[in-house]
Structure 1
Amino acid sequence: MPRRRRGRFTPKKTTKSHGGDPASPTEAEWRSMTEFGSFVVRDEEDVEHIFRKGDDATVLPYKAIVGEELPLHKYWVARIKEIRAKGEDEVWARVQWHWSGHEVAGTIKSFHGASCGNYERIYSDHFDYVSSSAFDAVVHVHKFFETNPNQPYIGKDEFYTRYTFEYKARIINPRPGSGTCVCEEPYSPDDTMGLMHFCPRPSCRHAYHQKCLLAEFKDPESSMTRSLRLLASSPDSDETIVLEDLISSEPPKKKRRGRPAKKSLDPIGVSLEDLLKGMPSGLVLVAQQPIVRGAAFSAGGVSGNVQAVLHARNMVYAALSGTPIPDDWEDNVDIDRAIVRVPGRKPIPAFVCPKCGGAI
């Protein structure tokens, strides 16, 4: 496993977004080099950092010098596809680049790079050879699927990708703004003024800008029923769930093994209100939250509270049917990241989905 001390990376052309190192091997030289599965970079404190084939990694950008302060989102990001070396002193990686939104906008004039977040990267079909001396750290680039009701949490300072970029064809997939708001403008994760509301129903699964919903999609129902209307919006049904119909007419089955759950409810003859009061208050509160994302809701990160809220709703549905709430329910429902708080703002208005009319 060859080793290489980090140094300065100076690509050939300043006008090119990535690559162009004049010292990089030719195709013929590359084929003659010895292949490896990983390489090691020693930092200034002589600590070794291992980079492996298949890793996503940050790369020092043009003219960057080791030791100078550089925000993490300013680094280039690449996936290591192959590693080869000439002896022990010259190690190169063939990489596939993750471009930033602004870099793509420099190639596709119609693409609005400002709609991409600082930590957003667009996975391209653009390859280069990069010296091992240019690599900084292994990172994880999350996949962000805007319409996925089970989208895992992505923090606001974590790398993520939602588009792919065909460099020569100048094509972005999926088309930014497709499958989203009525305005067809894409979600801008770093926009601190905006929120988007997500409808989880199978035939919808779209997110809508709050500013677009304000015009004609306010919920006409009484605010007294708002929390129950949100709770009745399920990711598994296009119809509004009738919560009372979920209440079981049979006693809950006892667990045969293990410790019984702390919150085991007997729903027979008990009202919906009483059953909800008998569940963990934090769980019910999360289940009744609107599903939102956007920088104005900072606790939600990039992806918002979609996964946590839907986990909570499904556990409440199961509990109404007589299934005990697991002791470890908080492992799947992060209350702090799920409850919608927007400092300095008025309470979030009640909206309906423009497509299905359900509460969102």
Structure 2
Amino acid sequence: MSEDNGSAPRRYIDDYSNKLILAPMVRANHLGFRLTCRDYGADIVYSEELIAQKLKDTKRVVNEEAGTVDFMYKNGYAVYRTCERDHPNVLQMGASNAVVALQAAQVVCGDVDGIDLNMGCPKHFSVHAGMGAALLQKPETVHDILTTLKRNTTNSITCKIRLLDTVSSTLDLMKMIESTGVSAIAVHARHVVDRPRDRANWEKLSEVVKSYFGVPLIVNGDVFVHEDIAKVREATNVSSVMIARGALYNASIFQPHMESVDDVIKRYLRNSMDIDQHPSTTKWNIMQMMQEMKKRNPNEQLISQSKTMKDLSRWFDLEDYYEQSTSAKLEKTTQAPPKKQKTEP
């Protein structure tokens, strides 16, 4: 690896209309998973929410072995990774003020096509810090962050919101956001108090869309199989669809003929080995995918105990692929030397 003070050429997404998009999901949307969704037809892929306060303190490192660009935090942890196959991509940011948001954006703007402000996360860790859904009630702060990013970066700027209590209040928020010059607005068709088990409110979003004629909108919520894409488009009159859990359970949802989860896992595992993704990160996604399999894998418990990519490859008949992968080359060089055997007195 080598630290690089330079960056890739500036990038921008020209059009967010009529797109199939991987939604940001905490823990799930690392590079290996984004690449897999792109393989299956995702037009744009979002990162998981990355906290601006941490992102601004990362260093851009070119990882020649894995063919990636890694943004490393001071503890040696890669906060964000990307590569040429990852484009067009959007980095979703959690921020509560414009200064820190811009500092973070300036670190990564040469390696991402878009930057999205998270305005929908209802989790306590996000809201109590003034980020996520807390921003829905702070239009001045939102305006400041978005206009600052728009004026000082060359990326496309977007945000992801939730429905407010009334159609009129949602419209007012969207019109204010539009005035900042954003390229698109993603709307999670749920309220802040709603949880994933609650049905997405496509009908209310449809009422919003009837009165809104601004930037492209992206609908998010309750798309679990490919056929749901056409249903949500018809129900809301929004052309671009953002898919979250449906993609996590089966990343081939972006294509008309979905593959078996077992085949999807194998593709995901190959992508992860190619870029030397951390085994625990890879395993977490595999375990989420396996929960949706109609026929459970008999080695599920052993898979959950795997500690290396070699272990994971064994349970999915990918040992030969592993031996040729970046993960194999790097795992072999980082293995600790064997302990010395005690000798008899």
Using the size of structure 2 for normalisation, the TM-score is 0.18
Using the size of structure 1 for normalisation, the TM-score is 0.18
Structure number with the higher strand fraction is 1
Instruction: Mark the structure with the bigger radius of gyration.
Output: 1
Q: Which structure has more RCO (C-alpha within 8 Å, separation ≥ 6)?
A: 2
Structure number with the higher helix fraction is 2
